Amino acid sequence: MNFIKRTFALVLAAVICLGVFAGCSNPDKSGSDKSIVIWTSGEDYKNQYYLEELEKKFPDYDFTLEYMNSSTIAAKVMEEGENCSCDIILSEEYGYLYKCEEYLAELKDFDFSLFLDDIVPANHKFTPEVKNGGCVILNPKVLESKGVEKPQSYEDLLDPKYEGLISMPSPTSSGTGYMFLRQLTNEWGEEEAFKYFEDFSKNVLQYTSSGSGPVNALVQGEAGIGLGMISQAVNEIKEGVDLEIVFFEEGAPYSMYGNAVLASSADRECVMEVFNYLATDLCKGDNERYFPDQIFKDYIPDVEGFPKDVDYGNMSNDTLDEKDRLLAKWTFS
């Protein structure tokens, strides 16, 4: 593995370099070189996996993998437009991909039938990569120490006996937090959902800034109930932490992330070659290793401890405009 070619950049405040390499500048995207720029909002361990596998498969290509949050990726694509310096977008929220879709290539030759029909975008301008499912997670020892039973419904979480025992990500700073708000708004109606969270907030120990915050609070014994990600809870359980995953009758909320090619790079053979491998083989590897919610029709990851036959909830109308509108009303964190 040629680690000299490997670069991670955090575009916002600091640049984290794992290496410096030559040949990665691609000013005109003419296809005359083998340099490929990828922007991603994925986690470090996922980025490491993708980059290592890409370098194994394409040792003669030069890859630059730059990390940014989802909103920054979309903003930069729209700012740079047809002259975007990026070739491939990895692990970007669907809402933001739709926002900048005019600058994305239509993937006419890609086989979208590989994926579950309900997660394939109608415009065929990006491919599914991650279905990030949510759940309610319990620390049985904490609940037992407080003398309270395990909750059986969202309604149960309003009981004053759970005051100070619940942790949830803030919808204003976390996509994980927002997916719970989105789902319950769909299930119950907006007025009822916001009334619920008004009452629910009285029992919340803290609204965390990140989606991983509630599970961390559960692991540390600071909370007994957390609203978080299935995959993270499973990883902690596999490490020996005594946690329990439960689903209420509304089912599991989820958010979708995808991969895309910039329209300005679609005529570069090396870019499309890399994208097709990334969006199929590497996506399946990611599905197996990190986010095992099913996305492929013919492949269900068999991951120890991951719940089988998850009943996913109603996540319709999950657009950026609707997200902005709902978050403008959120005053609880």
pLDDT tens-digit profile of 195-252?
A: 999 999 999 999 999 899 999 999 999 999 999 999 999 999 999 999 999 999 999 9
pLDDT digits (tens, 9 = 90+) for 107-141: 999 999 999 999 999 999 999 999 999 999 999 99
**Judgement on whether residues 188 and 112 belong to the same structural domain of the protein:** no
Domain extent, residue 222, equals 132-254+306-329
Residue 175 structure tokens = 């996509």
Which pLDDT does position 19 carry in this prediction?
A: 34
**Judgement on whether residues 113 and 138 belong to the same structural domain of the protein:** no
**Judgement on whether residues 179 and 219 belong to the same structural domain of the protein:** yes
Contact 304, 295 (CB under 8 A): no
**Judgement on whether residues 73 and 42 belong to the same structural domain of the protein:** yes
Collapsing DSSP to helix, strand or coil, 186 comes out as helix
Which pLDDT does position 44 carry in this prediction?
A: 87
Per-position b or e across 86-124, b if 16+ CB within 10 A of its CB: bbbbbbbbbbbbbbbbebbbebeebeeebbeeebbbeee
In whole angstroms, what is the distance from residue 165 CA to residue 325 CA?
29
From 265, 248, 40, 259, select the one nearest 157 (Cα to Cα): 248
Contact 296, 114 (CB under 8 A): yes
In whole angstroms, what is the distance from residue 124 CA to residue 162 CA?
45
- Does residue 297 form part of some domain? no
pLDDT tens digits in sequence order for the chain, 333 residues long? 433 334 444 333 333 333 333 333 344 444 447 899 999 998 888 999 999 999 999 999 999 999 998 889 999 999 999 999 999 999 999 999 999 999 999 999 999 999 999 999 999 999 999 999 999 999 999 999 999 999 999 999 999 999 999 999 999 989 899 999 999 999 999 999 999 999 999 999 999 998 999 999 999 999 999 999 999 999 999 999 999 999 999 999 999 999 999 999 999 999 999 999 999 999 999 999 989 999 999 999 988 889 988 999 999 999 999 999 999 999 998
Which pLDDT does position 5 carry in this prediction?
A: 37
Contact 4, 63 (CB under 8 A): no
**Judgement on whether residues 68 and 170 belong to the same structural domain of the protein:** no
**Tokens 């890609």 identify what position?**
110
The total domain count for the chain is 2
Collapsing DSSP to helix, strand or coil, 130 comes out as strand
**Judgement on whether residues 83 and 158 belong to the same structural domain of the protein:** no
Specify the pairing of strand 166-169 against strand 127-138.
unpaired
In whole angstroms, what is the distance from residue 294 CA to residue 300 CA?
6
Contact 286, 130 (CB under 8 A): yes
Q: Give the DSSP H or E segment for 89.
A: strand 88-93
Which pLDDT does position 1 carry in this prediction?
A: 40
Which pLDDT does position 95 carry in this prediction?
A: 92
**Judgement on whether residues 155 and 238 belong to the same structural domain of the protein:** yes
**Judgement on whether residues 58 and 112 belong to the same structural domain of the protein:** yes
- Does residue 62 form part of some domain? yes
First CA to last CA across the chain, in angstroms?
45
In whole angstroms, what is the distance from residue 268 CA to residue 277 CA?
15
